[in-house]
Amino acid sequence: MKADKFRDPIHGFIEVRQHELEIINTKAFQRLRNIKQLAMTYYVYLGAEHTRFGHSLGVMHLVTRAFRSAIEGYEANFPEAKRQRYEQILRLIALTHDIGHAPFSHASEAVFPAGVEHEDFTVEIVTKTEIADIIRTIGKEFVEKFGTDYDITPELICDIYMGRDAGPSSEYTFLKSFMDSELDCDKMDYLLRDSYYCGVKYGMYDIERLLSSFTICYTNEIPRLAIENGGIQVFEEFVLARYFMFIQVYFHRTRRYFDIMLGQALKEVLPGGTYPADVQEYLEWDDARVFQLLKERAGNSQASKNIVERYVYPRVF
């Protein structure tokens, strides 16, 4: 299968397959180039202008390495057809898991339509845009190669990631843990990536040792993601890295202040005070459009003015 490569400052060369590249080239995925990973943290840490685009590729890279490491020694339980299908499912989940994020990521989720979260937009984008057709093409190729039991659909991708009942195999829980657990590839990437771009060391840990420590623990013949005994210390290092990033970066008082200002500003300047519920209209919004709107409305919105002019209220205490 034809592959391409992206050069990444965190992981080096990231290889993508032909149909994955087609997903990356869609309008919905390219939008992630204009969605900052850490919202307005660049007002505090000047290098923090990295995006969800690079993070999504990084997670796909890591989930592949983590899966291969975990099943090493258990090849008999993962014949070639199953291994290839599971790996492709994980790569698709990792690639698309953040595709529904709002401008400035979590900072503007306060103005989602009632009852809607960014995961809901992710499901809509994955199942109802051209990305769905690409995933179905991947599934068709698996069916032709291995049989109907090895199909991959956009609905399956979303069901596994969202933790829904995706079929008779409880091994899907095993797959989900690579993307949503105390030790998942999403956290593994953003800690290293955020540390690098913020210019801090708080989120650093021994990624190679951690990956090599992945293994499988079987409970009632069902696989569960686990860490070997020799990897306990690096797992502890990982947990501490996350803790220090939260108290030093993610919960930095100025960063949190601008998150609050952004939420207030958007309620004042967006039509109806929320992002549109229609997924196609929603995809037209990115950081650049939001910031331009804030600049236009700074004259009659104090919150917008505070953001545009980077004005931070002094602390009373």
pLDDT at 163: 86
- The answer, yes or no, to whether residue 165 has pLDDT greater than 80, is no
- The answer, yes or no, to whether residue 168 has pLDDT greater than 80, is no
Least confident span in 1-15, 44-58, 127-141: 1-15
Confidence tier at 219 by pLDDT (50, 70, 90): confident
pLDDT at 314: 77
Element spanning 74, H or E? none
Average pLDDT of the residues in 90-107: 96
3-class state of residue 233 by DSSP: helix
Q: Would you say 294 and 269 are in contact if contact means Cβ atoms under 8 Å apart?
A: yes
Average pLDDT, the chain: 94
Query: In the block, which residue shows the tokens 């190669």?
Result: 145
Quote the pTM value. 0.95
Confidence tier at 170 by pLDDT (50, 70, 90): confident
Tell me how many degrees the CA angle 153-155-157 measures, rounded to the nearest 5: 75
Rounded to whole angstroms, the Cα distance separating 103 from 40 reads 11
Rounded to whole angstroms, the Cα distance separating 243 from 251 reads 10
pLDDT at 249: 97
What percent of the chain shows pLDDT beyond 70?
Answer: 97
pLDDT at 251: 95
Rounded to whole angstroms, the Cα distance separating 137 from 17 reads 13
Least confident span in 95-104, 107-116, 184-193: 107-116
pLDDT at 171: 85
pLDDT at 316: 58
Give just the sign of the alpha carbon dihedral 160, 179, 28, 112. positive
- The answer, yes or no, to whether residue 205 has pLDDT greater than 90, is yes
Confidence tier at 128 by pLDDT (50, 70, 90): very high
pLDDT at 1: 53
Amino acid identity of 280?
A: Q
Rounded to whole angstroms, the Cα distance separating 25 from 50 reads 19
Q: CA nearest 175: which of 199, 158, 195, 200?
A: 158
pLDDT at 167: 54
